[in-house]
Chains A and B, each alone.
Chain A
Amino acid sequence: DVKVTQSSRYLVKRTGEKVFLECVQDMDHENMFWYRQDPGLGLRLIYFSYDVKMKEKGDIPEGYSVSREKKERFSLILESASTNQTSMYLCASRFTVLAGGNEQFFGPGTRLTVL
């Protein structure tokens, strides 16, 4: 079974703190994604990575950065957390589309609250 794990299920941080969200997948997937999910706004793509050390901005990258130093791990960084970044954060992974890997698998999510 494909497994995507996220470092925390719940996180509470203060405004201005630097926040790290970690995601690990065990299926040797090339592509990894970070989304946030908010009521009424659906799933929105923050950043994605086609492979190690590669990253591309999604639809809402402002206030976030990412790191992909190893194939299995994709980190989302909030440089200076703000209250409007309170959200559910979801990591996902899949094989590259060129290899026929269109099935995308999600982690359990991290509920982040910024006070």
Chain B
Amino acid sequence: GQQLNQSPQSMFIQEGEDVSMNCTSSSIFNTWLWYKQDPGEGPVLLIALYKAGELTSNGRLTAQFGITRKDSFLNISASIPSDVGIYFCAGLPWGGAQKLVFGQGTRLTINP
């Protein structure tokens, strides 16, 4: 099935640094979702975006729905050890599609 291009695949950062990751597609989406998954757990929804250009925050997390409707990014400011995990983007394609399309994930590792 279709997949989103998510980058980077992995990040190794120092505690306190800011983090940025993004998802792109050749198709238009009407919804972007960002999830975090801890080892052995299910993905937890962090942020949902519904309008082109929309910028939404959830604590230290900020996500934006790209103007072209083909991309989205997630920023984490002032990273802390509990931010470690895998972050997934997911999108609902424009045109009445019912199934989410997922990125492959960004694995975040933080050095204390």
Assembled-state Cα–Cα distance A90/B100 (Å): 14
A60's closest neighbor in chain B, by CB? B1
- A108 to B100, Cβ gap below 8 A? no
Give chain B's interface secondary structure class: loop
Q: Which of B19-27, B43-51, B56-64, B77-85 has 4 or more CB atoms under 8 Å from chain A?
A: B43-51
Q: Which of A75-115 contact B (CB under 8 A)?
A: 90, 97, 102-109, 111
Answer whether A104 and B42 are a contact pair too, CB < 8 Å, given A42-B102, A42-B105.
no
What number of A-B contacts does a CB cutoff of 8 Å give? Answer: 49
Answer whether A59 and B100 are a contact pair too, CB < 8 Å, given A90-B42, A105-B45, A109-B41.
no
Using a Cβ–Cβ cut-off of 8 Å, how many residues does chain A contribute to the interface with B? Answer: 21
Check if B33 is an interface residue, CB within 8 A of chain A: yes
A44's closest neighbor in chain B, by CB? B1
- A102 to B102, Cβ gap below 8 A? no
Answer whether A103 and B45 are a contact pair too, CB < 8 Å, given A42-B3, A42-B105, A97-B92.
yes
Check if B98 is an interface residue, CB within 8 A of chain A: yes
Most chain-A CB neighbours within 10 Å: which of B1, B42, B43, B92? Answer: B42
- A48 to B41, Cβ gap below 8 A? no
Q: Which size bracket describes the interface of B in this complex?
A: 20 to 34
- B99 to A102, Cβ gap below 8 A? no
- Digitize A34-66: 1 where CB-to-B-CB distance is under 8 Å, 0 elsewhere: 000000001111001010000000110000000
- B31 to A50, Cβ gap below 8 A? no
A9's closest neighbor in chain B, by CB? B40
Residues from chain A with a CB closer than 8 A to the CB of B50 are: 102
Assembled-state Cα–Cα distance A4/B105 (Å): 22
B97's closest neighbor in chain A, by CB? A97
- B31 to A102, Cβ gap below 8 A? yes
**Can you report 5 A-B residue pairs in the complex whose CB atoms are below 8 A from each other?**
A43-B102, A44-B1, A90-B42, A104-B90, A104-B100
List 7 extra interface pairs beyond A104-B45, A107-B42, A108-B42, CB under 8 A.
A31-B98, A42-B102, A42-B104, A45-B99, A97-B98, A102-B92, A103-B45
User: Which residues of A line the B interface, CB within 8 A?
Assistant: 4, 31, 42-45, 48, 50, 58-59, 90, 97, 102-109, 111
